[in-house]
Amino acid sequence: MKFKFALQSCKLLIFLLLLTPQLTEAKKNKKQGRPNIIIINADDLGYGDPSCYGGKLFETPNIDRLANEGIRFTDGYVSSSVCSPSRHGLLTGTYQTRFGIQWNHDTFNLPGQKERKLIVPEKHRYINQAFSEAGYVTAIAGKYNLPGYPNTTFDKTFSLTSAGCNYFPDEKGGYAGVDQYPKPKGGWTPTLWGPDREGEEYITDRCGRQCVEFIEENKENPFFFYLAFNAPHTPLQAKKVDRPRVAHIQSEAMKLYAAMVLAIDDNVGRILDYLDKEGLRDNTIVIFLSDNGPMNPVHFKVPDWWPDNSPYHIMGQRGGLSGYKGIFREAGIRIPYIMSWPSQLQEGTTYKKTVSTLDLYPTLCAAADVRLPDSTHLDGVNLMPYLIGGAKQDPHDYLYWYANRMGAVRSGKWKFYVEDNKHYLFDLENDISETTNVSRENPEVMQKIFGAYIKHRNEMPPCRNPFIRPIDLPTKEAAGIQVQDPK
């Protein structure tokens, strides 16, 4: 009898051992369903700032880790070189110029207009709305920078700011510019090592923490999180605890900037660690971007806020590109662009053809089997056939930029650029810094690409608000100051 019982127990144990992998796989398959989405968008980060893009002044191990776990795009672009238009392009999947948005001020009320009116038609659905309608829970933390603030199209919001904020709370615990907390009457504190009071949470850390808490609350169902960091946009405010990590940098302004980027990197790691711990990493698409290139303080009254012991320089590393935020040279519109989805995308790869943040809308919808809204016009393309299917051709024949007195087109290796009626053609394959105008040597190329640009521009409505000076023009106080790269 004892032998028979032992034999039955042994059979039961063998059965359970055989069943355990199946149960584990079933649990894994349950989590594998539709992928989760996390888009991390930094503000004014330079193309050459992450060390995986050649950054020399500081290390970004967690952004590098994300690149090692996915695809690093060398030629990734935003649809504008300033904040709000760029974010409109990303979230609508459409050239924001189709809505008359060429520059930040086109999202303001028009002269004499008291009530806020819709700029993007309601029938055009933002990417998060497409995911909400497909059963995803959606959320945003950080910089919204679209009309309608504090109202958004996301299901949940955290630490929401319209266009800027202080990075540390005041004595009452509120963050100026965040969640409708009043902005400081005297303006932002331009440069600051903080916090001033013990226990105060840095806003970048706060947004990262809120992202992790959102995942914790929603991990049993598919989620879409847009983590829109304010950093490293001004005001230059960083944590004192990070000063030793940037002590080797010569410029005091750049030390602050670098510490702000390190806080972003720390929180990228914080999110990846949590996804790993919960078994969610394989089936979560994580994307890392910047909304445009690094700031050029020529747009501001430099003597008013620039540290006395800092030589004047671009706020960020350009990685050999020319230009900066506010113009359509490469450093203004080419950005760090990383996509990771371990269960589907090959890890540690580099993609060298031209892509845009406009592509995220159709690409993520295709990846998650989310239906594209019928009433929504998309200018981006689904990148999955190129990233998984092995398609060899360029995803885009042309990418366009148009605003104010400037325009640009990218087509293969060629870059057309116009500013103040001066026309340029650059061969980016051999001249990434845009030093030599080769339009005379390539008249047929120039004619074709210029014709495509004029056709595109003529399809666009006029800008909504032509009455405010664009920020790409220098202030009188800073005009003539020589542009330098930071050290």
Closest CA to 375 of 35, 93, 37: 93
Q: What angle, 0 to 180 degrees and rounded to 10, lies between the N-to-C axes of helices 252-277 and 61-68? A: 50
Confidence of residue 149 (pLDDT cuts 50, 70, 90): very high
Q: Which amino acid is at 73?
A: F
Residue 28 has pLDDT above 70, yes or no: no
Task: Give the model confidence (pLDDT) of 187-226 as tens digits.
Answer: 888 889 999 899 999 999 999 999 999 999 999 999 999 9
Task: Give the model confidence (pLDDT) of 341-396 as tens digits.
Answer: 999 999 999 999 999 999 999 999 999 999 999 999 999 999 999 999 888 899 99
Residue 25 has pLDDT above 50, yes or no: no
Q: What pLDDT shows up at residue 16?
A: 44
Cα–Cα distance, 412 to 397 (Å, whole number): 7
Residue 471 has pLDDT above 70, yes or no: no
Residue 31 has pLDDT above 80, yes or no: no
Mean pLDDT of 78-100: 97
Residue 119 has pLDDT above 60, yes or no: yes
Q: What pLDDT shows up at residue 113?
A: 81
Overall pTM surpassing 0.75 (yes/no): yes
Q: What are the DSSP E strand ranges found in 78-165?
A: 137-143, 156-161
Q: What are the DSSP E strand ranges found in 97-136?
A: none
Look at 116 and 269; give whichever has higher pLDDT.
269
Q: What pLDDT shows up at residue 303?
A: 54
- Across the chain, what does the average pLDDT equal? 91
Least confident of 163-167, 279-283, 395-399, 433-437: 163-167
Cα–Cα distance, 239 to 260 (Å, whole number): 8
Least confident of 2-6, 378-382, 387-391, 422-426: 2-6
- Tell me if 315 sits within 8 A of 296, measured CB to CB: yes
Look at 205 and 185; give whichever has higher pLDDT.
205
Q: What pLDDT shows up at residue 474?
A: 66
Q: What pLDDT shows up at residue 5?
A: 45
Residue 142 has pLDDT above 80, yes or no: yes
Mean pLDDT of 246-264: 96
Q: What pLDDT shows up at residue 359?
A: 98
- Tell me if 365 sits within 8 A of 372, measured CB to CB: yes
Q: What angle, 0 to 180 degrees and rounded to 10, lies between the N-to-C axes of helices 252-277 and 203-218? A: 10
Closest CA to 357 of 92, 82, 145, 90: 90
Residue 12 has pLDDT above 80, yes or no: no
Q: What pLDDT shows up at residue 370?
A: 98
Q: Percentage of residues in the chain with pLDDT exceeding 70? A: 90
Q: What pLDDT shows up at residue 111?
A: 80
DSSP 200: P
* Tokens encoding 78: 């935003």
Q: Which amino acid is at 23?
A: L
Instruction: State whether residue 43 is helix, strand or coil.
Output: coil
Residue 484 has pLDDT above 90, yes or no: no
